[in-house]
Amino acid sequence: MKKLIICCALTGSLPTKEQNPHVPITPDEIVADALAVYQAGASIVHIHARDAQGKNCHDRGIFQEIHTKLKAQAPELIVQLSTGGRAGQGFDSRNACLFSNPEMASLCTGSTNFPTGIYANDMELVIQLAEMMKQRNIKPELEIFDTNMVGAAVTLEQMGLLQPPLYFDFVMGGRNGQSADIRQLGYLVSMLPAGSQWCASGIAANQVNTMLMAIAAGGHVRVGLEDNLYLRRGVKATNVELVERVVRIASEVNREIATPAEARAMLGL
């Protein structure tokens, strides 16, 4: 079976130090955690920016600081920056991370009712972000919160805005999103254009079962404190521990871990 790409979503928009003291918030904390999960087996790090108060933000300067520091210390690690919407809406806000020219960036192709409000991704915005990524040779990580978003990604490919192989991240088990269910995963995979690569990320207590399904089905895995704060019930995780658990389980079923170079070859970077 193909090698396993592990992406670690280090920070996200919502987690706080009060919820889990191991969440990296400052640029230096994020860089240090990225280097640690790379040593543990991650080949991609998914990164959000926080401001000086720890609030999530779309600040070009903070994204640039993180990206520059990280590339200086681990040039081979694949950096994926977030265009996610919790820090503000609109193209001029959402595109902030793209000015750093990361190798990858997230691109959600539809809208979702998050518990705290609508995560609005109308097609005009999605197309604008995809165009900017294409111009800058940034590979989208297509974030899929529900089935309809796969079809929107296929539309973008038909418009010439995405280059195969497409790379999908199925976010599963979040409130109001698709369930972390093997039938749902099977249906999503069945919808993908030939040659696509995919990973799955389970939210909160769904992180483990989602990761197990993805490893068994030949997908890739995203874990990290953005999606899940606990290692097990009552035990707060570190990003490194979450990555180490994937490596342990994968080794039991002979899924070797991809290096960043091997991940690049699979994703067409």
- For Mg ion, give the closer residue by CB, 89 or 259: 89
Report in angstroms how near the CB of residue 108 gets to Mg ion at its nearest: 9
- The secondary structure of 137-175 as a DSSP string is TPEEEEEESSTHHHHHHHHHHHTT-SPSSPEEEEEES-T
Distance of CA 30 to the CA centre of its chain: 15
Nearest residue to Mg ion by CB is 82
Return the number of the residue (82 or 112) whose C-beta is nearest Mg ion.
82
State the nearest-atom distance from the C-beta of 143 to Mg ion, in Å: 7
Q: Which of 65/227 has CB closer to Mg ion?
A: 227
Please tell me whether the peptide bond between 165 and the residue prior to it is cis, using omega within 30 degrees of 0: yes
Q: Record the tokens describing residue 194, joined without a space.
A: 């030939």
Cα→Cα distances 184→68, 190, 199, 203, 210, Å = 38, 10, 14, 15, 11
Report the nearest approach of Mg ion to the CB of residue 42 (Å): 15
Q: 130 or 255: whose CB is closer to Mg ion?
A: 130
Q: Which residues of this chain interact with Mg ion, rule CB under 5 A?
A: 82, 84
| Nearest approach, Cβ of residue 207 and Mg ion (Å) | 14
Q: Say which DSSP state 257 is in.
A: B
Distance CA 262, CA 75 (A): 15
- Least distance in angstroms from the C-beta of 234 to Mg ion: 25
By beta-carbon proximity to Mg ion, the closer residue of 82 and 178 is 82
